Amino acid sequence: MYLCGSIVLKNRVKSLKVNKMNKLFKVLFLGVALFVMSGVAQAQVKIAHVNTAEILDAMPDKAKAEKSLEKYYGELQSQLETMAKEYQTKMQDYEANQATMSNLVKQSKEKEIVDLQTRIQQFQVNAEGEFENKRAELLKPILDKIQNAINAVGKEKGYTYVLDLATGAAVFVGDNAVDCTKDVKAKLGITK
């Protein structure tokens, strides 16, 4: 009985210590929260949002970049079509003449076809990578212009944050949020 009472007493003391720690933690947390809130209330936070996709679509340089990308894509597509025709020709020749081919010639033709197939697949992979690199290269100066305009508008208007709606960075936009898309367009000389 004494042992059981001792265990209950020890558990109760531990429980009281934990409760005191929890209360202390809650008070400290509340104090820190109030301190932070008072600092935020004193420093006016100005938040604006911008839609960079809308701005990018309105940029005159984007059309030039897209034309250049289309031309580059056409060159890659043309090369791929040439390789595909060569593959079809070799396959048709192989299928039409395989019955009369010696084993050595047959093996040589099969190896040519497999090698060409591998080259085509490798070309496709490389072309995709090269296309994305070309795209990034052509869009970088345009995106840099947009970013510089956003930075300038943010400083001029005294915004604390400018959130980009196009990238999904904003999870909530209040009714009193400021949309500076028009200001950034004006900074870039876009009237659309």
Residue with the larger pLDDT of the pair 139 and 22: 139
Greatest Cα-to-Cα distance within the chain, rounded to the nearest angstrom: 103
The helix (H) or strand (E) run that includes residue 50 is strand 47-50
Max mean pLDDT range (2-11, 14-23, 72-81): 72-81
pLDDT for 45 equals: 78
The answer to whether the CB of 48 falls within 8 A of the CB of 178 is yes
The token pair that represents 116 in the structure block: 């060409």
Six-digit token string for 178: 């400021």
Q: What is the band of 176 on the pLDDT scale with cuts at 50, 70, 90?
A: low
**Whether pTM exceeds 0.95:** no
Count of the separate structural domains present in the chain: 2
Same domain as 118, residue 62:
yes
pLDDT (0 to 100) of residue 145: 94
Which residues make beta-bridge pairs with 164?
50
Report pLDDT for 35: 44
pLDDT at 102 over 50: yes
Nearest to 145 by CA among 69, 49, 51, 55: 55
> 35 and 51: one domain?
no
Do 89 and 182 fall within a single domain?
yes
Same domain, residue pair 73 and 98: yes
Asked if 80 and 155 sit in the same domain, the reply is yes
- Is 99 found in the same domain as 14? no
The domain containing residue 77 runs over which residues? Answer: 44-188
Are 20 and 38 in a shared domain?
A: yes
pLDDT band at 151 (very low <50, low <70, confident <90, very high): confident
pLDDT at 46: 82
The 3-state DSSP class for residue 179 equals strand
